[in-house]
Homo-oligomer: A and B are copies of this chain.
Amino acid sequence: MLALLEREPMYGYQLRSEFDAATGATWPLNVGQVYTTLARLERDGLVAPGDPDDEGRLRYAITEAGKAELAGWFGTPVVSSDRPRDELAIKLALAVTVPGVDVSGVIQKQRAATIVAMQDLTRLKAAGNDDLSWSLVLESMRYQLEAEVRWLDHCESSLARAARARNGAGNTEQTATKQTGVRR
């Protein structure tokens, strides 16, 4: 919000559409949330309601405090500790500890879903959008999804190795990558 308001004062509805434009509607933003957030930002003195425009729309402007906050945001890198927990990582980490879970089944389903997501992305990208922000976000997702697939592969081979270690040294059937049935 602050970043958008730094460009120029905007009213709520406009903020939503500008945000969607910037992120390519990848993470759609509920309009209602804009207003609640605006109220919270005003509470914290980061924005201020100002001159209503020609039509009665109330534009909010960023304050000095808001500019400082924004500059801090841009100037401070995102570190692991303020990233949200990675659900997928947790899921697999736990899956391998719970007996009866078909871990490779989980991995395979996930990889399939991830690959579909990548294809959707490619399709989106093909439906020409020359906007820079748009394409950066899309590329971000692509890099992440690619990494995810690679990680899933790594997990599978890790699993296979662990299974091989558990079984006798001479026993070389690839059981680990071929089990079926989901728990129980």
Which residues of A line the B interface, CB within 8 A? 3-4, 6-7, 22-23, 26-27, 67, 71, 73-80, 82-102, 105-106, 109-110, 112-114, 117, 132-137, 139-141, 143-144, 146-148, 150-151, 154-155, 158-159, 162, 182-184
**CB-based contact A136/B93 at 8 Å:** yes
Instruction: Report the copy number of this chain in the oligomer.
Output: 2
Q: Say yes or no: A97 contacts B148, CB within 8 Å.
A: no
For the complex of A and B, 6 pairs with smallest distance between CB atoms: A77-B113, A147-B147, A3-B94, A93-B133, A89-B140, A143-B151
CB pair A182 B75 closer than 8 Å:
yes
The CA of A33 and the CA of B96, in the complex, are separated in Å by: 24
A91 CA / B114 CA spacing, docked (Å) = 24
A85 to B78, CA, bound (A): 13
Knowing A74-B106, A80-B117, say if A147 contacts B143 (CB, 8 Å): yes
